[in-house]
Amino acid sequence: MRTILLFSAVSFFTACSASHSNVSTAPVDSVQVSPPAADHFAFGPGDVIDIKVWRQPDMDMQIVIAPDGAITYPLVGRIEVAGMTYPELVTRIETELQTYYTDPSVAVNIVEVSNQKVFVLGEVNNPSVLQIENELSVLEALTRTGGISNDANTENVLLIRGGLEEPTLYTVDVQGILAGDMSQNAMLQRGDILMVPTSTIVEVERFFRRVSGILSPVVSGSATYRNINGQGAQSAPTP
């Protein structure tokens, strides 16, 4: 059901962007937010992982993460893997195995990525749902969707992260990336929504609220703006 709602929202937003209707033309807002720092890869349902324990070959196995995001591992039992990073999963298994082995050393390898999708919408030539196969940066995602259109606002591309309950919103300066500022070239994560606004939308905070309203109820709950100076966060008003 959420998938149907998401694609309905995508279609609606794309149509709105193309027509440039109901667009804010207010002066440029002072709100500026920075792209997130790179995080570790997070596991998701359908991903295939290979777990090995040093000098314990009977514990080596390849596992597909179940649709509910969990795996079952010998001596450990059920582990809710979805959303965990590589270091978190390794630490969890090593901690559980300390009951049975002395100083267990665990390695987890990603064999296949199955459910690591991101959405690239708005003023791109081919709005798409992309699969993260290894790492996927903002610039690569925009390239894979045919590049940005001539009507795009390249200084305030929106990155929506954090799932459907309490998304965090960032702006990414793609123009800065093209000029050599790789700090803006954030690595995307499962569930990210990259929204390229039209150049006639110049008030960032107002457009944040508009996007939240269009994607609702797919992206529901309160949004949080991350300040570029790192001095905390501010909750967004309800659209």
- Domain boundary at 112, 140, 162, which? 112
Q: Are 136 and 125 in contact (CB under 8 A)?
A: no
Q: Does the pLDDT at position 229 exceed 60?
A: no
The three-state secondary structure class of 219 is coil
Tokens 């807002």 appear where?
29
Q: CA torsion 214→217→220→224, rounded to 10°? A: 0
Q: Could you tell me the end-to-end alpha-carbon distance of the chain, in angstroms, rounded to an integer? A: 23
DSSP for 49-110, please give it.
EEEEETT-GGG-EEEEPPTTSEEEETTTEEEE-TT-BHHHHHHHHHHHHTTTSSS--EEEEE
154 shares its domain with 206: yes
pLDDT at 1 over 60: no
Q: Comparing 165 with 23, which gets the higher pLDDT? A: 165
pLDDT of residue 112: 86
> 34 and 65: one domain?
no
Judgement on whether residues 185 and 143 belong to the same structural domain of the protein: yes
Q: What is the CATH number of the domain that holds 98?
A: 3.30.1950.10
Residues 95 and 36 in one domain: no
What's the burial of 1, exposed, middle or buried (CB within 10 Å: 0-12/13-18/19+)?
Answer: exposed
Q: What is the pLDDT of residues 180-220, one digit of tens each?
A: 998 899 889 888 999 998 876 555 556 666 665 655 544 44
Does residue 187 sit in the same domain as residue 228? yes
Q: Which two tokens stand for residue 162?
A: 């954090």
Mean pLDDT, rounded, of the chain:
76
Neighbours of 87 (CB within 10 A): 10
Indicate whether 122 and 212 sit together in one domain.
Answer: yes
User: Are both 106 and 121 inside the same structural domain?
Assistant: no
Q: Which pair of tokens denotes residue 97? A: 């195995």
- Average the pLDDT over 36-43 and give the result: 72
Residue 13 and residue 118: Cα distance in Å, rounded? 16
Q: How many domains does the chain have?
A: 2
Could you tell me if 68 and 158 lie in one domain?
no
Task: Tell whether the model's pLDDT for residue 14 goes beyond 90.
Answer: no
CATH number assigned to the domain comprising residue 219 = 3.10.560.10
236 DSSP assignment: P
Residues 200 and 149 placed together within one structural domain of the fold: yes
Which pTM value belongs to this model? Answer: 0.61
Supply the range of the domain harboring residue 88: 48-112
Q: How confident is the model at residue 156 (pLDDT cuts 50, 70, 90)?
A: confident
**DSSP-H helix ranges across 158-203:** 174-178
Claim to verify: residue 34 and residue 134 sit in the same structural domain: yes
Which residue, 112, 133, 161, sits at the end of a domain?
Answer: 112
Question: Which among 68, 84, 112 is the end of a domain?
Answer: 112
Tokens representing residue 204 in the block: 């960032």
* CA distances from residue 180 to 119, 158, 174, 177 in whole angstroms, order as listed: 25, 19, 10, 5
Q: Which two tokens stand for residue 148?
A: 């940005």
Residues 33 and 75 in one domain: no
In a shared domain, residues 151 and 220: yes
